[in-house]
A and B are shown apart, each in its own frame.
Chain A
Amino acid sequence: MVRLQVLIFVCLSMYLVAVVLPDAYIMMDAASTLSFGFLVLAAYLFAELLARMKLPRLTGYIAAGMLFGPSALGFLTPGVIGDLKLVDDLALTFIAFAAGGELHLDMLRRRKRIISLTLICQVVFVLIGVTAAMFLLRSLFPLTASMSMIQALGVAAICGAIAVARSPSSAIAIISETRAKGPFTEMILGVTVAADVLTIFLFAVVLSFSDLAISGQPVDFTFLLAMCGEVVISLAVGLLLGAGISLYLAKVGTELTIFILGIAFLITQFSYGMTSVLHDTFAIDFHLKPMLICMTAGFYLRNFSRNGDEFIQIIDRSSLPIYTIFFAMSGAALKIEALQDTWLWVLILVGMRTVFVYLGSLAGGKLGGDSRVLRRVSGLGFLTQAGVSLGLIKMVSDRFPGFGDELATLLVAAVAMNQIIGPVGLKYALSRAGETRESRACSPQA
């Protein structure tokens, strides 16, 4: 009750400062800090309220962001969201370190059969299933209704490839929130991370094919190579970074908070800087992936560094404010108004993805020898979607000026919906698998 009162007080204060007070009183260039503080408090307190309804806190953070963001109450302006982009990027690198740090090599070796089978089945089912379904519905889908069959296949394949992407950041946040641990949790995280990396390759292939199908341009091998290069170089930079951090931990080992912050800042700046230099100087579109770099570094530290555990622990200790601000920002950045015109096709797309993800998990679990219970729920653990998919969607928009924006709006709205339902599904799946702290405490063995 006290927290509800505090939430109301915080909201009223923010309303007073951000909305009621005349502009003459407000120095707008300091508004980002105010919004940052407001979002941390309001999103957490809002999520606490939703948690009483057994919803994951993560959903609460996203919902709070949507509620207070530009699309609803407007406490946060688009300008402020832009100003907080750096904080958002820094938070993402922290989450990526944590996600990489959760991947134990021993666990991956032990669970490689089930992870690889689930991954293969999911990729095959989702890619082929969503592509086929969108192709079959082509005459009803306004975007492809007037296209030739081959062009419609190109668009359908793009939808299929994007549907494969997951959200490691959401997965790690839910795992951290529920303190889940066990083989099922490990499998979920392993598949989620691997699927995200695989999506980049898949997307490169699909986009090259779609280019050929839609625009009649020959397959662009440079693009294919560049996409593969991005992943390989990001992995290499991540390994180097992991080795560098490991050296720092061994030789210096002090001022870790400031060191981590500095590294996160440099990685984001380095990735963007590199992209802009290559684009401006050599006209090459090459995007290093900060998330992949940090995940690889986290993986290296967890598995190949003597002092890596200390680093991962510091990241874990600071996880709560980081998750809160990151997901609340994600919610605030969602354009709810995009749903107004596209909601029916968003529902169809999300529904199809959910069905094929579920079927893929079922098949993978069956082949891998998972128990009946796990097979039934594992599909719900793979619905989260964000990060990489949004980057890829932007490429679609840039690549196909004719219909790219329209398709991108639809896909972004679908990702937004998956971002909301995904965490609920994952929390439920982890709970049914008996691997959350709560369910472990309730189990007869506990």
Chain B
Amino acid sequence: MKIIIGLTLIVLLALLGSRRTFTKVKLPLAARHIYLTGTEFILVGLCLGGLMLGLLDFKALRGLDPLLHLAFGWIGLLFGIQLQIGRVGHFGRQYLLFALLQAVVTFFFCCLPFLLLLPVLGIQDDFVLLGALTLGAIAVPTAQSSLAMIQRELGLGRNKLMEMLSYVAGIDAMVALVIFGFLFCFAHCQKLGNIIALVNLQYVGISIGLGLGTGLLLHFLTRIRCSQEELVLFVIGSVAFCAGAAASLGVSPLFVTFLSGMMIANLRGQKARISRALNTLEKPLYIIVLIMGGAMLGPVADWPLVLLLAAIYIVLRVGGKVAGGLLSSGVLRSPERIPRPVGLALTSQGGMAAAMVVSFHRAFDDELSNTILMMILVAIVINELIGPFLARFLVRGAR
């Protein structure tokens, strides 16, 4: 019976949702923010998951593990492959520093307060730092999809400000992934109960070796002439192998495949074809992550308190983004095209944040990760709701 309800729900959502989402039917603004950014799939996952219908129960989620890890790897590779070293600073050094500083400020803005707040939930001392670092790292990325939506809506085809915002969002993701990768390495020390630098370094080495090794593997596989079908097979195989090895060895699949992507981006090979192949499945895999993220959410005992912490997190994140923008533009003598409250346009928190939190939950799968999953999913939905308003406000002001 649950399956029939689930099937009906999916078909209904698909028919109603997709038709409205992808056609030009005008929806109320707030609803459009949810629909057009794909956030509704978190709610679909929530309906299908253990908390409601139970269609995507623990066993089914474990069965779909290869797909989920494939999605993590795909997303990591996709970000990495865009990162040609020579092009990272194409906006100029000042902009790069601005983006980096803004990201770091946001990270600390969300991480430090939670060192004090997480113990309220009864989280053991050993895990408070891990939780706070995770919340900080996940606060950094900015959703490209909502920037693209605003660009489309306001008809800002080749607007310099939008290009710069998109560039900052790209750097955000890079910073977030690097922090996230190191965080996984740090987690091993947590498990061991004391911080031993060598253990840390060992996992850092595994991450880097695995990432660069897979990058080389994919490079060699695709260097010889191969059909598009073969190329897709090589990408799927390499990404799943790398993400699976990363997850098995307890390092971050997102970070490791990000490194693989960087490796490919900076070698002379088939990067354009690989990038095109990655783009074809990007959206479906994001949707899988969002649905499975919603479905993974387990019961949270102290949910009113968690919701309160989620609200605090949202405020801190918006504050961090704004403060990061103000501070960076102040310290670096604001590059002329950047409005000072630029952080307002960077508050949407989309797919990358979802991928990070789902990856964290999949790797640690305990009370802490469930609490963080709930907080972040709530934050994503709310940020997708308010982010585009704030961004629109900033962009209109700048015009």
Residues of A within 8 A of B (CB): 2-3, 5-6, 9-10, 13, 17, 21, 25-38, 40-41, 44, 83-87, 244, 248, 251-252, 254-255, 257-259, 261-262, 265-266, 269-270, 273, 317-321, 324
A83–B65 CB distance below 8 A = yes
| Interchain Cβ contacts under 8 Å between A and B, 11 examples | A10-B241, A27-B248, A30-B244, A33-B244, A36-B70, A252-B14, A255-B283, A255-B287, A266-B10, A273-B3, A317-B229
Counting contact residues on chain B (CB < 8 A from A), the size range is: 35 or more
**A252-B19, A266-B7 known; A33-B66 Cβ under 8 A:** yes
Residue of A37, A252, A324 near B243 (CB, 8 A) is A37
Q: How far is the CB of A90 from chain B (nearest CB, A)?
A: 9
Determine if A320 and B247 form an interchain contact, defined as CB atoms under 8 angstroms apart: no
Q: How far is the CB of A333 from chain B (nearest CB, A)?
A: 16
Cβ B238 vs Cβ A32 within 8 A? no
**Alpha-carbon separation in the docked complex, A133 to B243 (Å):** 53
A33–B217 CA distance with the chains assembled, in angstroms: 17
Q: Hey, what's the 0/1 contact readout for B60-76 against A, CB within 8 Å counting as 1?
A: 10111111111000000
Chain A nearest CB from B254 CB (Å) reads 13
Choose one: A6, A25, A36, A257; the contact of B221 (CB below 8 Å).
A6
Q: Given A33-B244, A33-B247, are A257 and B284 also a contact pair (CB < 8 Å)?
A: yes
Q: Which residues of A contact B287 (CB under 8 A)?
A: 255, 258
CA–CA, A258 and B15, complex, Å: 13
CA distance A317 to B335 in the complex (A): 47
Nearest CB on B from A174, distance (A): 16
The answer for the CA separation of A33 and B362 in the assembled complex, in Å, is: 13
Evaluate whether A86 and B15 lie within 8 angstroms (CB atoms) in the complex, with A2-B220, A9-B217, A27-B247 already known: no
Q: Which of B1-54 contact A (CB under 8 A)?
A: 2-4, 6-7, 10-11, 14-15, 18-19, 22
Among candidates A30, A83, A251, A269, residue contacting B3 with C-beta atoms closer than 8 Å? A269
B11 and A244 contact, CB distance less than 8 A: yes
Chain A residues, CB < 8 A from B283 = 255
Complex Cα distance, B232 from A40, in Å, reads 11
15 new A-B contacts, CB < 8 A, other than A27-B247, A33-B240, A266-B10, are: A17-B248, A17-B249, A25-B250, A30-B247, A31-B244, A36-B244, A37-B244, A44-B237, A83-B65, A252-B19, A254-B18, A261-B284, A319-B229, A321-B232, A321-B236
- CB of B88 within 8 A of chain A? no
CB-nearest residue of chain B to A36: B66
A13 contact from B62, B224, B245, B247, Cβ within 8 A: B245
B137 is an interface residue with CB less than 8 A from chain A: no
Asked whether any CB of chain A lies closer than 8 Å to the CB of B223, the reply is: yes
Residue in contact with B238 in the complex, picked from A28, A41, A265, CB distance below 8 Å: A41
Q: A33-B70, A37-B238, A83-B63 are in contact. Are A255 and B18 (CB under 8 A)?
A: yes
**Most-contacted residue by chain A among B55, B63, B220 (CB, 10 A):** B63
> What is the chain B residue whose CB lies nearest that of A42?
B237
Residues of A within 8 A of B245 (CB): 13, 17, 34, 37
Contacts of B288 in A (CB 8 A): 258, 261
Q: With the chains together, A269 CA to B237 CA distance in Å? A: 26
Residue pair A32, B244 in contact (C-beta under 8 Å): yes
The smallest beta-carbon distance between A336 and chain B, in angstroms, is 24
CB distance from A256 to the nearest CB of B (A): 9
Q: A37-B244, A83-B63, A269-B55 are in contact. Are A320 and B284 (CB under 8 A)?
A: no
Known: A33-B70, A33-B243. A262 touches B65 (CB 8 A): no
- In the bound complex, how far is the Cα of B220 from the Cα of A85, in angstroms? 31
Interface residues of B in 272-305 (CB under 8 A from A): 281, 283-284, 287-288
Q: In the complex, what distance in Å separates the CA atom of A180 from the CA atom of B240?
A: 31
A320 and B224 contact, Cβ closer than 8 Å, known pairs A6-B217, A37-B241, A269-B60: no
Residues of B within 8 Å of A270, CB to CB, are 3-4, 7
Bound-state Cα–Cα, A258 to B17, Å: 14
* A258 CA / B281 CA spacing, docked (Å): 9
Closest to A30 in B: B247
B167 within 8 A of A: no
Give the contacting residue for B233; candidates A28, A248, A324; CB below 8 A. Answer: A324
Contacts of A44 in B (CB 8 A): 230, 233-234, 237
CB distance from A30 to the nearest CB of B (A): 3
Q: Which residues of A contact B2 (CB under 8 A)?
A: 273
Q: Are B248 and A251 in contact (CB under 8 A)?
A: no
- Give the residue name and chain of the B residue nearest to A86 (CB): B63
Q: Which residues in B have their C-beta under 8 angstroms from that of A261?
A: 284, 288
Is A27 in contact with B250, judged by CB distance below 8 angstroms? yes
**Out of B19, B68, B230, B241, which one reaches A38, CB within 8 Å?**
B241
A21 CA / B233 CA spacing, docked (Å): 27
A29–B59 alpha-carbon span in the complex (Å): 12
Name B281's closest neighbour in chain A (CB-CB).
A257
Query: What is the distance, in angstroms, from B237's C-beta to the closest C-beta of chain A?
Result: 4
Bound complex: CA of A34 vs CA of B247, how far in Å? 8
| CB-nearest residue of chain B to A244 | B11
- B242 beta carbon closer than 8 Å to chain A: yes
| Contact in complex: B65, A32 (CB < 8 Å) | yes
